[in-house]
Amino acid sequence: MTDRRRLLFGVPLFVAVASGAGFYTILRRMQNQTYDPHALPSPLIGHRPPAFNLPGVANQAGFSNIDLAAPPRPMLVNWFASWCQPCMEEAPTLVELAKIGIPIWGIAYQDTPAAIATYLGLYGNPFTRIATDSSGLTAINWGVYGVPETYLIDRQGIVRWRWAGALNDAVLAQQLDPLLDQYS
Amino acid sequence: MKRYFLLLVFLPSLALAQMVTRDGVTLTAAQEQRAEAIGDQLRCLVCQNESIEGSSASLAKQLRIIIRQQVVAGADNKTIMHYMVQRYGIFVLLKPPLSRLTLLLYASPFIALLIGFLSFWLARKSRIPGPVPLSESEAARLEKLLDP
């Protein structure tokens, strides 16, 4: 076989193998939910959350951006809703995170106090504090485009990571855990 | 005469009075047109291949309301676009601007063209040369052979 012929057969073979390996990786990561092709990079990363002040539920105080300015340790802000299916799926993961001492503050998106209380009764309450964004306007200012979304805020009050969609053990192991180590 | 004069004065206000209500915001037809033009250029983030104008997602509706409120308040198109990009990144623009992130996207037609020209040139270069033209005596001999 001449060099030319070898090249003629080699190039398509190489392209086929390379794209096959690429597709396999993408599909496998989509399957274990560590990659979401619809996920967008958040413009909030590297910045503080925008100014907001939201009320709480059941006579508890809500919180504002000032409360997130300098947390004593890295914390999570979780946007959720009682009507949201993936929120129910990630609820056990959040409960586990709270159990190992990660502070999680929740913001209920377009929800009612009664529905929130029922939801937390059913799926457990991992939240240190809860605020409610009933209009959804604070969510727009954060760039939230669906629930659940989880933001990691470091000790300087800077957003370091955003996960759009349900958290699970694979996302924790591959992305969140290393970041928590890095920023604590 | 006076009646015609009054008519002339109030005629422009008739056009202004063409108010429309969309998603709960009331605005003039011209303002609505401008709001629609802005919404057509923005991606709905829930159903990512639809524009904010065309989508029935509740987030798209909320963003349509925000656009209309800002249009009524007198914000220019650039301000409204900036508002969206600041929150959702350049992905919200259906036609992203040329930047470091989108350079490859915009350069891809030229890269494809370059690859095409390159392979054309390589193919031409490595083409097996045709036979040498016949000499005069050979041509004469061929003539004789073909024409008995």
Coil, strand or helix: which one is A106?
A: strand
Phi, psi values for residue A180, rounded to 5°: -60, -40
A-chain residues near B59 (CB < 8 A): 136, 140, 145-146
A145 vs B44: CA distance, rounded Å: 9
Residues in chain A with pLDDT values less than 70: 1
Which is nearest to A161 in space by CA: A184, A140, A179?
Answer: A179
pLDDT at B10 over 80: no
A126 vs A99: CA distance, rounded Å: 8
Unique residue bearing structure tokens 């929120």: A87
The predicted complex's ipTM stands at 0.83
pLDDT at residue A8 in the model: 81
Residue B73's pLDDT band, with cuts at 50, 70 and 90, is very high
pLDDT at B2 over 70: no
pLDDT at residue A10 in the model: 87
Which is nearest to A51 in space by CA: A34, A33, A35, A69?
Answer: A69
pLDDT at residue A1 in the model: 57
pTM, rounded to two decimals: 0.81
B66 vs B69: CA distance, rounded Å: 5
A74 vs A160: CA distance, rounded Å: 10
pLDDT at residue B5 in the model: 65
A117 vs B75: CA distance, rounded Å: 40
Mean pLDDT throughout B127-147?
87
Coil, strand or helix: which one is A144?
A: coil
A102 vs A176: CA distance, rounded Å: 11
* A138 inside 8 A of chain B by CB: no
A-chain residues near B60 (CB < 8 A): none
Unique residue bearing structure tokens 């939801």: A119
pLDDT at B90 over 60: yes
pLDDT at residue A109 in the model: 96
- Structure confidence by residue, pLDDT tens digits, A4-55: 778 888 888 999 999 999 999 999 998 887 888 888 889 999 999 999 999 9
Which residues contact residue A129 at a Cβ distance below 8 angstroms, ignoring those fewer than 6 apart? A56, A60, A61, A62, A63, A67, A105, A106
Residue B127's pLDDT band, with cuts at 50, 70 and 90, is confident
pLDDT at B14 over 60: no
Å between A145 CA and nearest CA of chain B: 6
Q: Which helix (H) or strand (E) holds B20?
A: strand B19-22
Q: What percent of chain B lies above the pLDDT cut of 70? A: 89
B23 vs B62: CA distance, rounded Å: 8
Which stretches of chain B sit within 8 Å of chain A by CB?
45-46, 48, 58-59, 62-63, 66, 85-89, 91, 126
The CA R_g of chain B, rounded to the nearest whole Å, is 33
Contact B87 A146 (CB under 8 A): no
Which is nearest to A106 in space by CA: A85, A65, A76?
Answer: A76
pLDDT at residue B78 in the model: 95
Residue B57 CA, chain-centre distance (Å), reads 23
Å between A125 CA and nearest CA of chain B: 27
Which is nearest to A44 in space by CA: A126, A127, A136, A150?
Answer: A150
Q: What's A173's DSSP letter? A: I
Mean pLDDT throughout B44-50?
88
pLDDT at residue B47 in the model: 85
Q: What percent of chain B lies above the pLDDT cut of 90? A: 59
B5 vs A137: CA distance, rounded Å: 48
